[in-house]
Amino acid sequence: MDYGIKNNQIDDSLLWIKFKGPDLKAKSIPIYELGQTLTAFQVILHKAYLFKSERQKKGVIVTKEERPQLALRIKRQQAGSDEYGLVPFLSDPLIRSFVGGVLIIAFKALGQYVYKKVTGKKNTEESNMQPLVGSIYNQTNIFADRIDNIGGIKSIEIVANKELDIPNIILDETTRDYIREIGRSPLESDTTQIEGVVIRLYARDFAVLVQNKPGEYIKVTLGPEDFNQVRYHTNDLSMIKFEGRYLYWLGKEASKFDYFQADKIVEIRQLKDRLF
């Protein structure tokens, strides 16, 4: 595996972003293509950090103090190619280790697009990462849009330094087509159950707003019959259990799933007192 060896010295770049294509043997890619890609990757790194620190939700960004710690810079371009070695902006070894830990999370999220695991059945770790995976869709799509664009790029490879021990990320035409295809519909979780108290009805949508704990709400979409059962046969002391699937829209910033498609009502029980 090539980690960037130059002048008989092992390059200490934390990662390499490599643009590949027949035309790139004779010329470099346009600066717009390069800038778009590097900026998208930096944003993915920010989102991975917010996810790691449990602060990933709409409107939240890394702070002014955190940005230098997460910032990457180009250390070198491999001679005769379009390969860019990146290192942390700050040279502190502790920062390098910190950024490396965030990169591992970013690579795992990107890997779900590369290995076509964004939709379909997932293991527990993959399911837990779905809010991050969904939130980086727009940035991943920026990578995909570089393929077969004006720069002559056929694939983009992201290679981490071997110290991180994570597989390479390779985005090509197949990845591009997959990313475009899944962008037309929401993600769905595996079948699961939730319960809570209904606090609002949306008759036009056959949906209800459920509170399952203080300060947490989820919009549940129902079939017409189940909606009418909730509408006419429950009250604010009814604890309702639904079975169905969480929904998550690609490109949305959130720390959790906010929508649930209920296949059926499992149970309705009456509480003695209001919980919230």
Residues 47-105 pLDDT 10s: 999 999 988 877 788 999 999 999 999 998 875 568 999 999 999 999 999 999 999 99
Domain span including residue 262: 188-270
The reply to whether 88 and 195 lie within a common domain is no
Sign of dihedral through CA atoms 193, 198, 203, 204?
Answer: negative
Q: How far is CA 44 from CA 50, 51, 63, in A?
A: 10, 10, 15
Residue 276 counted as domain residue = no
Q: How far is CA 218 from CA 31, 72, 210, 242, 276, in A?
A: 43, 37, 5, 12, 15
Report DSSP state, residue 30: P
Residue 212 counted as domain residue = yes
The reply to whether 86 and 107 lie within a common domain is yes
Residue 89 counted as domain residue = yes
Q: What are phi and psi of 258, to 5 degrees?
A: -110, -5
pTM of the model: 0.76
Residue 255 has pLDDT above 60, yes or no: no
The reply to whether 152 and 247 lie within a common domain is no
CATH of the domain at 194: 2.40.50.140
* pLDDT at residue 254, rounded to an integer: 55
Residue 241 counted as domain residue = yes
Alpha-carbon gap, residue 212 to 29, rounded angstroms: 51
Number of domains composing the chain: 2
Residues written for the chain: 276
- 72 and 42 Cβ atoms separated by less than 8 Å: yes
Which residue's structure tokens are 């990757």?
41
Give the pair of three-digit tokens for residue 51: 């996810």
Domain's final residue, options 157, 185, 213: 185
Q: How far is CA 99 from CA 48, 77, 85, 204, in A?
A: 10, 21, 15, 47
Instruction: Using alpha carbons, select from 166, 178, 191, 91 the residue that is nearest to residue 140.
Output: 178
Residue 155 counted as domain residue = yes
* pLDDT at residue 103, rounded to an integer: 97
Question: Which segment of 7-21, 189-203, 257-271 scores lowest on mean pLDDT?
Answer: 7-21
Domain's final residue, options 151, 185, 219: 185
CA atoms within 13 A on the CB side of 113: 34
Residue 81 counted as domain residue = yes
Alpha-carbon gap, residue 217 to 219, rounded angstroms: 7
Residue 123 vs residue 64, higher pLDDT: 64
Alpha-carbon gap, residue 171 to 1, rounded angstroms: 17
